[in-house]
Amino acid sequence: MDTLNILLMGFISIVLINNLVFTKFLGICPYLGVSGRIDMAFGMGMAVTFVVTLSGTLTWLIDHLILMGTPLEVTRYVCFILVIAGAVQLVEMYVRKFFPSLYESFGIFLPLITTNCAILGLCLFINLWEIDNLLEAVVLSFGAGIGFTMAICIMAGIRENLNLADVPECLKGAPITLITAGLLTLAFMGFAGMIR
Amino acid sequence: MANKTSSAPLLGETFIVGLWRENPVFRLLLGMCPTLAVTAAVKPAFTMGLCVIFVLLCSNIIVSLMRNLLKPHLRILMFTLTISTFVTIADLFLRAFQPTMSEVLGPYVPLIIVNCIIICRAEACASKNRLFVSIIDALGMGAGFTVTLCVLAAVREILSTGAIWEIRILPAGFVPWAAMRMPVGAFITLGLLLGLVNVATKRNA
């Protein structure tokens, strides 16, 4: 029961309170780049969720079973990025085989998941928060992916409506997206006191 | 960026282009995540800028030196490995000599690995140009990045604490805007700065 409680709290906290996009500024590039249409945003979110769960788990295992306490610890970042690149390659092959139309519309953004800071960032945060339980690491990684999906879908929904709005000329494009993101962040700050 | 000749004015131009016309943050919208995350105050922003210059310079040098050996499909992997090696060096250096800064920047130092600016420069410039051009390009882009970071951080630090580089400049009666230190401040300040840059370019054109 206690474990379940911790897992549930961890999940809610990483989705709503410590959402990687809103509080840690991770994954901003796709957040601004792919959030033009809601179906693409959702596809991107799913791809990131898969990669982040896989690589969060794998890097935890590598970190705890091989690297920790040995001089190899300096190679941590190199190992992490290799795992992530491998996972992304896997997703890319899968999407190309089974969802060719989605693959076309992603274009360059799919391989760029490798350089999505949300993924490496989460692996580093798991290391930093000293999560020493595999299950918790898995739940946190999955929650981070869900949180990212939620953020990017909300953003895409807003931007679809923003297309119809009369935005001042100089703020069109990226600036207004950033300001919208700022206001969204403000809204999510309301969750800050929810746990602990 | 593709400078075929290497006369002095062209090199100077390569440097300037990184500062303004192709400023990585304002124009190319690259490296957003450190831009937003470490700019609550000028000092960490400046440190971050220096780290990025170091990594960008080293990786551009290495990539430029091995550009003829690269296989196309392994290119990105080689870039990433080169970059993560230098980021590890920078991280260990910070931890040893600037422990407080290392604490403040936290995971954002290792996150330089996935900073799009560095991969973008490796791909767009260093893998196609000679060593010297790549070095200048790295310096220009790095300087552009650092300056932008410092501007953004200065605005946020002044409004959130009334100080800059921890030196007080606004009168004591100034009520700090706490929101500027939070993520909200980062997003909105950057959005408005981008708007300003757009206005400035339009006026020049």
Whether B7 is covered by a domain: the verdict is: no
Query: What is the C-alpha to C-alpha distance for residues A45 and A106, in angstroms, rounded to an integer?
Result: 12
Query: What is the C-alpha to C-alpha distance for residues B187 and A62, in angstroms, rounded to an integer?
Result: 35
Contact with chain B for residue A32, Cβ under 8 A: yes
Confidence band of A151 (pLDDT split at 50, 70, 90): very high
Whether B32 is covered by a domain: the verdict is: no
Confidence band of B2 (pLDDT split at 50, 70, 90): very low
Query: Which of A78, A82, A93, A117 to probe by mutation at the B interface, max B CB count within 10 Å?
Result: A117
Q: What is the pLDDT of residue B6?
A: 46
Domain hosting B151: range is 39-204
Whether B171 is covered by a domain: the verdict is: yes
Whether B28 is covered by a domain: the verdict is: no
CB interface of A with B, residues 94-153, below 8 Å: 111-112, 114-117, 119-121, 124-125, 128
pLDDT tens by residue, A36-94: 788 888 888 888 898 899 999 999 999 888 888 788 888 888 888 888 888 888 888 88
Whether B19 is covered by a domain: the verdict is: no
Whether B23 is covered by a domain: the verdict is: no
A5-25 average pLDDT score:
86
A58-86 burial string, b = 16+ CB within 10 Å, else e? bbbebbbeebeeeeeeebbbbbbbbbbbe
pLDDT at A193 over 80: no
pLDDT tens by residue, B104-140: 888 888 888 888 888 888 888 888 888 888 898 899 8
Contact with chain A for residue B107, Cβ under 8 A: yes
What are the residues facing A189 on neighbouring strands? none
Structure tokens at B4: 């075929």
B154-179 average pLDDT score:
81
Please state the domain count of chain B.
1
Shortest distance between the Cα of B139 and any Cα of chain A, in A, equals 22
A126-149 average pLDDT score:
90
A154-189 burial string, b = 16+ CB within 10 Å, else e? bbbebbeeeeeeeeeebbeebbbbbbbbbebbbebb
Three-state DSSP class for residue B167: strand
Please state the domain count of chain A.
1
Whether B155 is covered by a domain: the verdict is: yes
Whether B90 is covered by a domain: the verdict is: yes
Residues of B in contact with A176 (CB under 8 A): 191
Query: What is the C-alpha to C-alpha distance for residues A128 and A137, in angstroms, rounded to an integer?
Result: 12
Domain hosting A97: range is 35-188
Query: Mean of the per-residue pLDDT values for chain A?
Result: 85
Residues of A in contact with B110 (CB under 8 A): 77, 120, 124
Q: What is the pLDDT of residue B9?
A: 61
